Every structure is written in C-alpha cells, then in structure tokens.
Structure 1
Amino acid sequence: MSRTATPSATGAAPRRRNPVLAWMLRDPRGALSLLVVAIIALTGIFADQLAPYSPIEQNFDLILMPPSAENWLGTDDLGRDVFSRLIHGASASMYASVLSVSIALVIGLPIGLLAGFAGGWVDEVVSRVIDALLSFPAIVLAIGVTGALGVGLTNGMISVGIVFSPLIARLARARALVVKEELFVDAARCFGASPVRILARHILPNAIQPILVQVTLLLAGALLAEASLSFLGLGVQAPDASWGSMLAKAYLYMEIAPEQMVTPGLAILVTALAFNGLGDSVRMLLDPTTRSGR
C-alpha cells in the first residue's frame, strides 16, 4: 500500500517571514527613521521625567557655561540647562508638527475630495483658490496668518496647518479625479449609493496612499516652519523652550559661545531627516511595484 507524503514525512513546512523584520531588512533607512522619530516622540512625552533640571530655572552664576558633568550641554544666556531645554523642545516640536499636519488634513482632505468628485464649477473654484494660495511663499503666508491670529505656538501651528492645507487638497483632488472614473464607482452609482457613501467607502480608501506619504513629508516641513516662526519670535514664547527659540537666543552669542547653536540645530536636522526618511519608506511600502520586488 502506498502512503501519501505528509509535511512531517517530507520535512517541516517553511516558516513565514515576519513582515516587520522583512521590511526592516529591505529598508533599513526607513526602520532607522522610524526609530529616531519614536525616540524623539517619547522624549517629548516624558520630558519632565528625563530632563535633569527645570527648563526655565535660571542661575545667573552659570551664564554661558561650557559643557560639564553637571550641565552636559552647557548653559544659556540666563544660566538655564541647555540639555533640559533641548528635551522639552522635543515636546514642543512634535506637538507643533502633529497639530499643523492634522489641521491641514482636516481642511484640505475633504475639500480636495469634494472638488475632484463633484467636478464642474466646484472643481474650478477650488482649483483657482488652491493655485492662489500656493503662489505665496509658505513661510510668508504663515507669518501673515500668525500675525492675524496672534503669536504663540498653537496659533503659529494653526497658521502652518492652513498654509499646508492646499497641498493636501491638490493631491486629494488629483486622486479623486482618477478614482471616480473606475468601474467600481460606476457600479456603486448603479446600485443607488449616495455621493457621501461613494466618497467615504470608495474614493477615500483608494486615494489615501499618496496622501499618507505627503503627510509624513509635511511633518518635516511643519517642524522647520515651527523652528522658523519661533526663531522670529512668533512661535513658542519665553520662557518655554523650543528648538527654534533656542537657536534665536544662541545666535546672539554665536561669537563667544558657538556651541550653543550646535545642539538645537542638530536636533532640527536629525528630526527633519528622520521624517523625510520615513516618508520615503512609506512611499516604497505602499508602492505595489516595490512590494512585489520588481
């Protein structure tokens, strides 16, 4: 009597590869970027527990001191510990990036989807408004909106979110124009689906991939915008700490204490590069040709 081969007789079945491990091996830059972003986010969340000193505590006996065992990164012009302010600056920077991009999504995504789906005069009006807003330099428009709303971190990030919303709207409109011509959208119309249901169940899920990539890239732009506004005195206000305001203070003492500019500048650079690397990784992960290994 012949016996049918079984997995136990022919050897163990091949083990399935962990998808997270496979992604890390395929894209180590993306994994490193995600790790850096996670570390900075956790640093900002637990800033009170990680900082050795208060970020606003002044000590006029320790003004512009170099790095030492007590103050790892030295002290600023008011004797405040630079390391502690750098840690608390992470909290302000991450809050600013998430808030501004969330506002851009809330404003830009529904407007862009509606314009692309509706077409006609609605699309024409929205497109002209988007083109007009994008014709202004982003930082100039953000400064103008911040001046109207008032200085402060939250108002500054609201202004950045408003400035970024046309970018989201333009991308969402372009995707909606493509997806609405698909056969499954025509089928949904034939079955009597309402426009709202078509937008929510069919257009949005098939348009979200490039928007997610744009969101990760805008996080880096928001970080730089917050640093620019704080450098100009329109963002985080004294005595609170942010990397941009730390740069603005350190700039005044660049000749006698140049090391004061290094740490906040590096923090901004590393975080922006991590966001950009994460954006590239998300783009590769969502690209079907990349996932298939072609």
Structure 2
Amino acid sequence: MTDTHMTIPAATTAPARSLPAPNRFRFWAWLRSDKRAAISLAYLTLLVLAALLAPYIAPYPPNEQNLLDLLMPPSQAHWLGTDDLGRDTLSRLLYGAHNALYAAFLAVGIGVTIGVPVGVLIGFVGGWVDELMSRVIDGILAFPPLVLAVAVTGALGIGLTNAMIAVGFAFAPVLARTMRAQTLVVKNALYVEAAQGFGASRMHLILRHILPNAIQPVIVEVTLMLAVALLAEAGLSFLSLGVQPPESSWGGMLARAYHYVEVAPAQMYAPGLAILFTALAFNALGESIRVLLDPTVKRG
C-alpha cells in the first residue's frame, strides 16, 4: 500500500493594508506640504505665547511713563522707541497683542454662537420660518458691519468687550446665511433620508448628520473673520470706541502715533505692521484650510 503524499501549498502572506495615518501625522504632513499654512500657524503661535507671557517678557510695565524720554527712536534701552508719554513701545505692543487676540476671538465666538444654530435651524425647518428669517438676515446685512458695530457700541457703552459684542452681532448674519445654505444641501443627502427612515429624531439628525457635514465652510469663514475682527478692533480703538486709555491696544497706539507722524514716524510702524502681519496670517491660514477641505483639489 503506497503512501499518498498530499502537498500543502505554502501559506502566502497577504500584503498588509496601509492604515490611515493618525490625525497628528496628517496634520504635520499638511504643514510640510503647505509652507504658507506652516508660516502662518508658527507666527500666530508665537503671537499667542507673546500675549500670554507679556507680563514676564515685556521690558517695562506698559503704562510706566518717563517724561524725559518722549518719542525716542529705537535704541538699546527701548528697542522700538517710546511714545508721546515716554512709555516703552515694545511693552505696549506685547500687552496690546493680548487685547487684539481677545477681541478677535470674542467677536468670532459670539458670531458662531448666534449664527451657526440660527442657520441650521432655518435651513432644516424651511418653509415660512426660512423665508422670514432670511429676510431679517438680508436686512441686517444691508448695513455696513462697522457702522452696525458703532451703533451697537453706542447703545451698549464704550469699551472693548461691548465693541466686540457689536462686531460679533455683525458677524452672526453672515455665518447664519452660510450655514443655512450648507444645511439645505446636506439635509437632502441620502444618508440623512436613510436616518429619517429609521426614525431618527430631528435633534439626532442635526447633531449627528447635518452639523458635522455642513460645518466645513464655516470653519474657513471663521479663520477669515478673525482677521476682520482684528481690523475692526483696531479701527474702533482708533476711534476711541474700543480699548480705553491707559490700556494698550494696537489701534490705540496707531491713533496716538498718528498725531506725531511728522515728528516720530517710526511710532506707527510697530502697531501698523503687527496688525498687518496678524491679519495676513489669519487670511493665509483660512485660505490654506479652504484648499485642504476642498475635495476637488488634488493633493500629492
């Protein structure tokens, strides 16, 4: 009786599927591929650190006056010179960064808190609610944002917080209209209709399906609005409607330096460039995020 030998084929190892990289790896890959985003994010990170550490890294107290050193040019003792009251410009610039960032994030936060829920609600409900609220939003948008902010500031009272609440109210209709348009698109998607067929509640549909898939354009809008809020704070402080003396703000520093532009023009450079670079950084970061979230853009 002959033995029958059965040949068993060697087990072949299937190639391992590449797993998606963790979020942190994709984040660093995005920064490596987009130098504009990397530079903007690095600048804004340094600005936030400077604002938080201003009490420790500022060479002088921001309101310390030295009447013997009025409108001094940059020197070893005062790297960016002094203002018309002998106060160190660098110290006031660092403390002003705190007010500038606080103002920008406060205004945009108020706009998001009001605009996003209203936009989702009117887009999801539709009907006469959508029609009525859309007309109200269009009516508010007919007013220039800065004029509306000045009017609300006059009603609430002068001060940084009140000024940024006014700017936030001006932002809310823009975000509401953006969110409404996205909600109208997403709520007709097949997965939303399927969830409705399984008996999902309205709140579940909004929180689980509509909001996460409609929020991307709002994220881009928010980064761009941070730059607008920064400029609005500088403009309102320039008009003495924002940060009140002796507190430091970039707009207030520009307002004081404007009166001495012929005597000490260098005093306008520091706050002016700080406003310019910060607004450009927010805009560049927003544009990079828009490209990153755009599914039609090819990335290597």
Shared fold, TM over 0.5: yes
- Whether 1:102 aligns to 2:86 is no
- Which residue of structure 2 lines up, in the alignment, with residue 252 of structure 1? 259
- Once residues 107 and 23 of structure 1 are traced to their aligned partners in structure 2, the CA distance between those partners, rounded to angstroms, is 31
- Which residue of structure 2 lines up, in the alignment, with residue 26 of structure 1? 33
Question: Secondary structure of the equivalent of 1:58?
Answer: coil
- Per-residue CA distance 1:241-269 (angstroms, 9 max, x = gap): 01000000000111101111011000000
Question: Secondary structure of the equivalent of 1:289?
Answer: coil
- Which residue of structure 2 lines up, in the alignment, with residue 147 of structure 1? 154
State the 1:6 CA deviation: 7.1
- Which residue of structure 1 lines up, in the alignment, with residue 134 of structure 2? 127
- Whether 1:261 aligns to 2:274 is no
State the 1:140 CA deviation: 0.7
- Whether 1:204 aligns to 2:211 is yes
- Once residues 21 and 211 of structure 1 are traced to their aligned partners in structure 2, the CA distance between those partners, rounded to angstroms, is 23
State the 1:189 CA deviation: 1.6
- Which residue of structure 2 lines up, in the alignment, with residue 183 of structure 1? 190
- Which residue of structure 2 lines up, in the alignment, with residue 282 of structure 1? 289
- Counterparts in 2 of 1:61-80, with a 5 A limit? 61-80=68-87
Q: Unaligned regions of 5+ residues in structure 2, if any?
A: 1-6
- Per-residue CA distance 1:7-50 (angstroms, 9 max, x = gap): 9xxxxx9xx79423421232100111111111111111111111
- Once residues 33 and 4 of structure 1 are traced to their aligned partners in structure 2, the CA distance between those partners, rounded to angstroms, is 52
- Once residues 43 and 265 of structure 1 are traced to their aligned partners in structure 2, the CA distance between those partners, rounded to angstroms, is 17
Structure (1 or 2) with the larger CA radius of gyration? 2
State the 1:78 CA deviation: 0.6
Question: Secondary structure of the equivalent of 1:43?
Answer: helix
- Once residues 253 and 236 of structure 2 are traced to their aligned partners in structure 1, the CA distance between those partners, rounded to angstroms, is 12
State the 1:149 CA deviation: 0.6
- Which residue of structure 2 lines up, in the alignment, with residue 193 of structure 1? 200
What amino acid is the match of 1:273?
A: L
- Per-residue CA distance 1:88-127 (angstroms, 9 max, x = gap): 0100000001110000000000001001001011101111
RMSD of aligned residue pairs (Cα, Å): 2.1
Question: Secondary structure of the equivalent of 1:283?
Answer: helix
- Once residues 289 and 21 of structure 1 are traced to their aligned partners in structure 2, the CA distance between those partners, rounded to angstroms, is 21
- Once residues 5 and 22 of structure 1 are traced to their aligned partners in structure 2, the CA distance between those partners, rounded to angstroms, is 33
- Once residues 162 and 57 of structure 2 are traced to their aligned partners in structure 1, the CA distance between those partners, rounded to angstroms, is 28
- Once residues 182 and 161 of structure 1 are traced to their aligned partners in structure 2, the CA distance between those partners, rounded to angstroms, is 31
- Which residue of structure 1 lines up, in the alignment, with residue 299 of structure 2? 293
- Once residues 232 and 185 of structure 2 are traced to their aligned partners in structure 1, the CA distance between those partners, rounded to angstroms, is 32
State the 1:193 CA deviation: 1.7
- Which residue of structure 2 lines up, in the alignment, with residue 39 of structure 1? 46
- Once residues 10 and 207 of structure 2 are traced to their aligned partners in structure 1, the CA distance between those partners, rounded to angstroms, is 54
- Once residues 34 and 149 of structure 1 are traced to their aligned partners in structure 2, the CA distance between those partners, rounded to angstroms, is 34
State the 1:4 CA deviation: 6.8
What amino acid is the match of 1:238?
A: P
Question: Secondary structure of the equivalent of 1:288?
Answer: coil
What amino acid is the match of 2:155?
A: A
Q: Which runs of 4+ in 1 moved over 4 A?
A: 1-7
- Per-residue CA distance 1:200-233 (angstroms, 9 max, x = gap): 1111001011110000000000000000000000
What amino acid is the match of 1:222?
A: A
State the 1:186 CA deviation: 1.4
What amino acid is the match of 1:162?
A: F
